[in-house]
């Protein structure tokens, strides 16, 4: 028996596949407590898309992501990346203020990953194999170092576009942000739609679900991204005083 699709959130649905059948284990839940933290689902529950085995994190390192938000965001990344599932890989793209008009990747920061070119199924640059506590720890250290050298305005559209042209299949994109974007909502959604179409027109690349985890109070654009991306929007439930 081999697990080839996971739900690192534990509140999407998990499938266990063997040679001749796929068994549906768990349907979407509206709340889940993970490592003592409760997360709630705030998007139409008909969205039932599992995480694929290659997880591409888009991580907000802009100025609005204060120390508490960064800590919460990193904990969420860790919760996903430390699931006990073999044959997974993950990548991290941090962003603050890349410009759509720029021909460079200024404002986009790609973790180098932990390439393993000599494996039967090589792990490419910019990616790391899981499960691996070392890889997750190194990614977190890199995020902290990157955040200490960034902190500008928040432009997410170029990061979304960059992620969707990634030459990988069986991939999910997970956006982690507070949603305090400086690019207009209409521009973000337009870039998302165009980038999704470019990917769908490439016969060598498959569909990529986009999931969103919100660390802040402003969620409208994050929910729109999650709905268009088909993967769902989640946030941490505030503790009652």
Distance of CA 162 to the CA centre of its chain: 13
3-state secondary structure of 101: coil
Does residue 6 lie within any of the structural domains?
no
Q: How many CB atoms lie within 10 A of CB 156?
A: 27
Does residue 192 lie within any of the structural domains?
yes
pLDDT in tens, 104-126: 456 899 999 999 999 998 999 99
DSSP string, 23-90: EE-----SEEEETTEEEEE-S-TT----B-SEEEEEEE-STT--HHHHHHHHHHHHHHHT-S-TTEEE
Model confidence band, residue 218 (pLDDT cutoffs 50, 70, 90): low
Does residue 32 lie within any of the structural domains?
no
Does residue 19 lie within any of the structural domains?
no
Does residue 1 lie within any of the structural domains?
no
CATH of the domain at 63: 3.40.50.410
- Strand 108-110 vs strand 88-95: parallel, antiparallel, or unpaired? antiparallel
DSSP string, 167-184: S-SSEEEEEEE----SS-
pLDDT in tens, 54-83: 999 999 998 888 889 999 899 888 888 887
Does residue 207 lie within any of the structural domains?
yes
Give the pLDDT confidence score for residue 205 in this predicted structure. Answer: 93
Per-residue pLDDT at 18 exceeds 50: no
Which among 50, 143, 31 has a CA at the least distance from the CA of 88? 50
Distance of CA 201 to the CA centre of its chain: 22
For residue 64, give its domain range. 41-234
pTM for this entry = 0.80
Give the pLDDT confidence score for residue 11 in this predicted structure. Answer: 32
Per-residue pLDDT at 212 exceeds 70: yes
Model confidence band, residue 85 (pLDDT cutoffs 50, 70, 90): confident
Q: How many domains does the chain have?
A: 1
Does residue 18 lie within any of the structural domains?
no
Does residue 30 lie within any of the structural domains?
no
């Amino acid at each position: 028996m081999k697990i080839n699709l996971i739900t690192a959130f534990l509140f999407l649905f998990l499938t266990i596949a063997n040679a001749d059948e796929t068994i549906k284990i768990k349907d979407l839940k509206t709340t889940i407590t993970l490592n003592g933290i409760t997360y709630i689902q705030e998007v139409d529950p008909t969205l039932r898309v599992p995480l694929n085995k290659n997880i591409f994190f888009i991580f907000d390192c802009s100025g609005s992501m204060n120390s508490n938000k960064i800590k919460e965001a990193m904990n969420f990344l860790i919760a996903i990346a430390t699931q006990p599932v073999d044959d997974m890989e993950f990548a991290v793209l941090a962003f603050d203020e890349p410009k759509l008009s720029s021909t460079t990747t200024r404002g986009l920061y790609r973790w180098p990953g932990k390439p393993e070119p000599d494996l039967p199924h090589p792990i490419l640059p910019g990616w790391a194999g899981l499960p691996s506590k070392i890889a997750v720890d190194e990614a977190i250290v890199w995020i902290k170092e990157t955040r200490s050298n960034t902190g500008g305005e928040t432009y997410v559209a170029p990061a979304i576009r960059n992620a969707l042209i990634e030459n990988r299949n069986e991939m999910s994109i997970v956006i982690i942000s507070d949603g305090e974007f400086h690019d207009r909502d209409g521009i973000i959604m337009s870039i998302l739609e165009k980038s999704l179409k470019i990917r769908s027109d490439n016969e060598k690349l498959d569909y990529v679900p986009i999931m969103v985890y919100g660390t802040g109070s402003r969620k409208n654009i994050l929910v729109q991204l999650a709905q268009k991306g088909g993967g769902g929007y989640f946030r941490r439930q505030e503790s009652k005083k």
